[in-house]
Amino acid sequence: MLQPNVLDVQGQAVQGALKHLGFESVEKVRIGRQIEMILPTEDREAARLQLEKWRRNC
Amino acid sequence: MHCAVLVFPGSNCDVDLYKVILQIKGATAEYVWHTDTDLDRFDVLLIPGGFSYGDYLRPGALAGVSPVIASVKKAANSGKLVLGICNGFQILIEAGLLPGALLPNQSLQFICDVVPVKVTQSESPFTSSYQLGDILRLPIAHGSGNYYCDEATHKELKSNGQIAFSFTPENNPNGSDAGITGLLNEQRNVLGMMPHPERAVKQWLGSTDGLGLFQSMLEHHTA
């Protein structure tokens, strides 16, 4: 996990690209050894489905 | 033959590619920034090398979903010539216009070298001025040129004659499957290649073996 103080330009670039693909609602993307995405939802299942869609399309 | 040289944030081989086109009598070129989606005025689309988006996520991954790509696909489907060099090849693969994947070099090192490249398909708009089996001296400069595809795809590529360029077994710098370093689509109007033909166009560059590729394209266009 990227330390919170790291400026993650890679994550920002990927977040921008996700917007092109229609994934507007992603609040944040941070990429370290794993890819973290912050989605503005309390619905765990909806979040999982969104990530699955992203995983398959990118 | 009016060519588009697509430019993504981080593309850096666009100028070399643009300059080669100017060298070819009868060909003209224009830079096209990646947010421009109107490519109708072009006969040929060229995707240069470099580090688009800093190779973030994967080389070519973010460029592959850029606004201009939909127009590239449309042009490719209509039969226009599309050439992707190095990062351009990576972008074509990420965009789904060519099969397989380009993995990090086996040595995990960025390799900058001049290597022998064999022409393994001379019947295409890009390679018609070469002879089958010609060995070209072309520069390579890449960290992820290690081509991979599964057995089934490889079989198909071979039987369709889609493998345009290969390294010889003794001179495979990046470990790519069967030395594949240049790939055509089935219709042979899209070519992706890792070596840089645009850097082998003047005596003082060390080799002029790349010129044939651009001349083939012009011949095909004016035919």
User: What was the pLDDT predicted at B76?
Assistant: 98
Q: Is the pLDDT of residue A19 over 90?
A: no
Residue in B closest to A57 by C-alpha: B65
Minimum mean pLDDT among A19-23, B54-58, B158-162, B191-195: which range? A19-23
Residue of B53, B54, B61 lying closest to A58 (CB–CB): B61
Chain A contact for B62 (CB, 8 A cutoff):
yes
What is the chain B residue with the closest CA to A33? Answer: B57
> Quick one: pLDDT at residue B206?
93
Give the per-residue pLDDT at B216.
97
Per-residue pLDDT band at A21 (split at 50, 70, 90): confident
Where is pLDDT greater, at A27 or B155? Answer: B155
Share of chain B above pLDDT 90, in %: 99
Whether residue B196 lies in the annotated active site: yes
One of B86, B94, B149, B220 is an active-site residue; which one?
Answer: B86
The minimum CA-CA distance between A4 and chain B, rounded to whole Å, is 19
Asked about B170 being catalytic, the answer comes back as no
Residue B22 sits at the chain A interface (C-beta within 8 Å):
no
Q: Indicate whether A38 belongs to any domain.
A: yes
Q: Which residues of chain A make contact with B59, given a CB cutoff of 8 A?
A: none
A57 band by pLDDT with thresholds 50, 70 and 90? confident
Name the residue in chain B with its Cα closest to that of A32.
B57
Flag whether pLDDT at A58 surpasses 80: no
Q: Which residues does B80 contact at the CB level (< 8 Å), separation at least 6?
A: B42, B43, B44, B45, B189
pLDDT number for residue A25? 83
Please count the structural domains in chain A: 1
Strand ranges, E, within chain B: 2-7, 28-33, 44-47, 81-85, 101-103, 111-119, 135-142, 146-148, 163-166, 180-184, 190-193
- Look at residue A26 in the predicted model and tell me its pLDDT: 87
Report yes or no on A18 lying in a domain.
yes
Work out the average pLDDT over A32-49. 89
pLDDT at B199 over 80: yes
Sequence-ordered list of residues with C-beta below 8 angstroms from that of A52, at least 6 positions apart, any chain: none
Pick the CATH number of B2-222 from 1.20.1340.10, 3.40.50.280, 3.40.50.880, 3.40.109.10: 3.40.50.880
A33 in a domain, yes or no? Answer: yes
Distance CA A27, CA B73 (A): 30
| Least Cα separation, residue B78 to chain A (angstroms) | 24
User: Is-contact B39 B72, C-beta < 8 A?
Assistant: yes
Q: What is the pTM of this model?
A: 0.93
Of residues B120 and A52, which shows the higher confidence score?
Answer: B120
**CB-closest option in A9, A10, A21 to B65:** A21
ipTM exceeding the 0.90 mark: no
pLDDT at residue A47 tops 90: no
The answer to whether B86 is a known catalytic residue is yes
Mean pLDDT confidence for B57-82: 97
Q: What is the mean pLDDT of chain B?
A: 97
Answer yes or no: is A4 within a domain: no
Residue A13 lies in a domain: yes
Kindly indicate the confidence band of residue B118, based on its pLDDT and cuts at 50, 70 and 90.
very high
Q: Do A17 and B67 touch (CB under 8 A)?
A: no
